[in-house]
Amino acid sequence: MKSNIRFISFLIYLLITLAIAHENVEICDKNGYCYPKVFVPTNEFTEVLEGQEIPSGLHIKIDFSTGKKYAKLLDQNDPRSEVVLIDEEGSIHQDSHLNLVDSGTHESLENNPKVNIYYKDSVNFNNNTLPIISSKPSKHISHSDHILFDSYVSQLTQSSQSLKIIISVLDGLEDLVHELDFGIKLARGHGLTFIVALLGHGSGEVRKKAALVIGTAMQNNPLAQGEALRMNLIPQFLDSLSEEQDIKVSSRLLYALSSIVRGNRRAIQTVNSYQGLSRLATLYQKFENNEFRAKCALFVTDFIDPNMVKADQPMEIYEQGKEQQRYGSDTVKSLFLNVMEFWCKLFQTTLSDKSTKSAEIDFDTGEKILRGISMIKNHYPLQCPVQDGFKIWLSEQIDAMKDEDYLEDYIRLLQQVQVQYGLS
């Protein structure tokens, strides 16, 4: 009995200690300045520093001219809303922090156990009566974050925003949509529609940040991916990639496309239907850029990796034999196998050709390309024969890395490819 009491007392002590430790956690910036992780409010507006969590029930001010956030204790006698928006001219606007959603989507949101929502009244939007959905505070997402999210989205609906405010809003959304709930909320509401429209903006910085927000929202988020497919975003992204001239924007567009496709069989089939891999190969050759080529290698690897698809999704698209039985070998050759053969040659040439800028690839990019070769060889062995130049490159790499113990994983990958080609 006494031992049980001592054990319970120890657990209580441990929980109290952990709670105190969490409250006392600090964040330190690059200059060594440390501050509490949880924002401590006063009766005056104080800047919310980078990484700080804002408790619920505070009066929040967003200065879009600087991108900074401020908060203070909420004055119960103040009839104004919880969010104050300041534009570039210093004008102050109140925000109702309400987020509109498309009609027809609120039912599936309500039935989704991962999303906490409740209904308010309806409003008129573009001559349609729509329900207003607002998120309840959850254990891991503060109420103030929901207010910020809705405020950011409401800013996107205004047609005359300045470049600085648009960039500030996109930065704020990118910080929030890492959370699953916000990714779904963005995709199910009007926010995603407005951000997709920004992919055609005249500023490359806006296009880049818009693509980053979409990619972050879709990352490992099947419900958000489903909305992207419903909006038919994949052909739009492929078209944007083909037309984009700014390599930094192209890299972000490819990141967004990868996030929509990764692990989603329907998305993979849609990419295949629009000759996505062939179009991407053209861009791979056009842009001799490490970041873009690394993302291409990851995209191709994920595309053909059956482990990336959920267990309950059919996997015929990955297996040559089953594909031939289902579609016929001629169809597969023209639609899928040929492009894999081309990518295999392309990757091998990138690594082994020392006469062009391709020879300047960095280590991280080279490793991702090598993994792409290994994946293609594993699933499409007949379409991925070894090239003489790549054979020499592989041998030279193994000799050069044999004494580099800290590159153990890379050496193992080199040896794996060597075995796959029967060169060991």
SS3 of 106-124? HHHHHCCCCCCEEEEEEEE
pLDDT reported for residue 347: 96
- The closest of 354, 356, 353, 366 to 414, measured between CA atoms, is 366
DSSP string spanning 41-90?
--SS-EEE-TTPBPPSSEEEEEETTTTEEEEEE--TT--S-SEEEE-TT-
Class of domain 96-246: mainly alpha
Q: Which residues of 336-355 are buried (b: 16+ CB within 10 A; e: fewer)?
A: bbebbbebbbbbbebbbeee
* Strands, sheet with 92-95, edge to edge from the N-terminal-most edge strand: 46-48, 68-73, 58-63, 83-86, 92-95
pLDDT reported for residue 315: 43
Alpha-carbon span 337 to 333, nearest angstrom = 5
What are φ and ψ of residue 36, in 5° steps? -60, 140
How many other C-beta atoms lie within 10 A of the C-beta of residue 31?
6
pTM score of the predicted model: 0.71
Alpha-carbon span 317 to 265, nearest angstrom = 9
Reading the block at residue 127, the tokens are 């001559």
Reading the block at residue 342, the tokens are 């081309």
pLDDT reported for residue 82: 54
- Contacts of the segment 68-72: beta carbons below 8 A, 24+ positions apart: 69/148, 70/45, 70/46, 71/39, 71/41, 71/45, 71/46, 71/144, 72/41, 72/42, 72/43, 72/44, 72/45, 72/46
Domain boundaries, given as residue ranges, for the chain: 27-95, 96-246, 262-424
Q: What is the pLDDT along the chain (424 residues), one digit of tens a residue?
A: 556 656 565 555 455 444 444 555 888 877 778 888 888 888 888 888 887 877 766 777 777 767 788 888 876 666 554 555 454 444 444 544 333 233 233 333 334 433 333 333 333 333 433 333 333 444 567 777 888 898 899 888 887 778 888 998 999 999 899 999 999 999 998 899 999 999 999 999 999 999 999 999 999 899 999 999 999 999 999 999 999 999 999 999 999 999 999 888 889 889 989 999 999 999 999 988 999 999 999 999 988 887 766 544 544 444 444 443 443 334 333 457 889 999 999 999 999 987 765 458 899 999 999 999 999 999 899 999 999 999 999 999 988 887 777 888 999 999 999 999 998 7
